[in-house]
Structure formats: structure tokens, C-alpha cells
Amino acid sequence: MAPQDAILGWDEDANAEAYDAFTRAHPMYDATSYDLARRADLADAGLVVDLCGGAGATARAILDLSPARARVVSVDNAAAMQRVGRRTLTDVRLTWITAPAEQLADHVPAGNADAVVCNSAIWKTDTAAVFTSVAHILRPGGRFVFNIGGGFAGVRHPDEQSVRTGPSLNALIRQVAARDHGYTSPPTAADTPPKLPLETVTEQLAAAGLAVVDTDVTAQHSTMAEKRAWLSIPVFARPEGDFTHAQRMRILDAAYTLTTPDAQTVTSWLVVVAQRPETTA
């Protein structure tokens, strides 16, 4: 699944409900959440922040992997997403804060967090400002773990190329839209640089006082059926342009008939583990 740069729409109830239903029916967000939480080294954590936490998919993984005494704070600027999360995730260790990621330091005490985890969202933020806020709240030795969609990071896992046997569902959507609606895809420059490559991330982290301690390019394996469900969430629906959601769903259904539902799809991710350096005497 190539990630979509869906920045707007998260504070709408329809998107929040559809997104939460997707995370419960399909493994994609659970898998990436547990992967990041494990890398955050939470065995002795006392305070963990789920940054851009949405409806709580990553908070669930953090809670499962943290000690019983740990506190978890989920920060997101979409109240609609958090309303869903509050209804479905009621662990008393979890606190919800409605605020932009860039304002994290205004809501969590300085130097108190053992880890900050951010799943599938960091490229939607002002990363330099977010990194500075994260550095402010982390304790010395605390970890910041996040991932970046492969398209935004400019990375591709070998599996992404080896398993593909036909056009992607996104490509088929564009074909159907062109055939049935005269749709013309927006021009894209083949040489456009990635939005958030590792070099940029490393520089911004260093400027904030954080050091990269590990990176990894991972592959998230899925199916066309899961991809269809993901593209049914209004905020992710395609194609772009002046279409209603009902029209997009009809286009999606038509495109899906041209696929094999259990055909494998792969999304690449760049995973970054950064750390606030230990204090020295």
C-alpha cells in the first residue's frame, strides 16, 4: 500500500469511525504499531507518548508491551479520532490529549518520557518542530521511534518489487476514472525528490539534540482486499479531484473487479529509532 499524504479530514466523524473499523478488521496498523513499540524498549517504561495517536491503535500496542505501572499519553489534534478511541479503549493507564504534535512539549513535562512512538504520521507534521518537542520531553536515554512511508522516504523494500504481478489498485482506479469519467491524472515529475529522506531526518534530529541509533527498511505484506478496505476510508479514497465519495466508491468497486482479492501487495516503510543522549559527567 503506497501511503497517501492524507493531512485533512481526520477530525470528521465518518473518517474516524471508518478508520477505527479498519484497524480492528485488518492487521496493517496493529502490525506496524507493535513493530514500533517493540523497538521503543518499553520493558521498564514509566511514561510513554503515542504521538499522532488517532483512535488508539498504537496506544493498544504500547499498553500491551509496557509495565502495569506505566502511563501512556496519546496526543492527536483530531478530536473526532479521540472520541472513537475514548469509547473503545478504556485502559485507566491511558490519557488523551487533543493537541498538534508540534505542541507536545506544552503538555508533557520536560525530561519525563521514556519513549515517544509515532506510527504512520510523522510526514504530515512540521518535523523539525516535532523533533524539538520530542527532545524536550524525553529523559536522557529515552527513545523516539517512528516510521515513514516508503514513498515519502524514498525507499523500497525488495519485496515490494518482487511480489507485484500486475497494476496496483491505485493505478486501476485511475484507469477506470479515465475510462468512465474522463479523468486526467495530475502530472507528476519522475525526478521529484522524496519528501522526507533519511538524510533530512537525521539532520533535523541532530539539530533537535537527538541521535539516530538504528534504521530499518521494512515490508508490510497485505492483500488487494485489505487495500480495498483501506481505500474505502473517506480520507484515503481516490481519485483526487471533484468526485463525491459515492462516485469514488463506485470507481473503487469497478477497479477491484479487475484484481484478484487475495493477491499480495507490499508497502515499504523506513523505521527510525532515535535517542536523547545520556547525560555525561
Q: Return mean pLDDT, the chain.
A: 93
Beta strands across the sheet bearing 264-275: 94-98, 71-76, 47-51, 113-118, 138-149, 264-275, 211-223
Reported confidence tier of residue 2, pLDDT bands at 50, 70, 90: very low
* Model pLDDT for residues 68-86, shown as the tens digit of each residue: 999 999 999 999 999 999 9
What pTM does this model have?
Answer: 0.93
What pLDDT sits at residue 167?
Answer: 87
Torsion 45-127-136-9 (CA) sign:
negative
Strand partners, 116: 49, 144
Chain centre to alpha carbon of residue 210: 21
What pLDDT sits at residue 188?
Answer: 63
E-strand stretches of 207-279: 211-223, 264-275
- From CA 178, how far away is CA 184, in angstroms rounded? 6
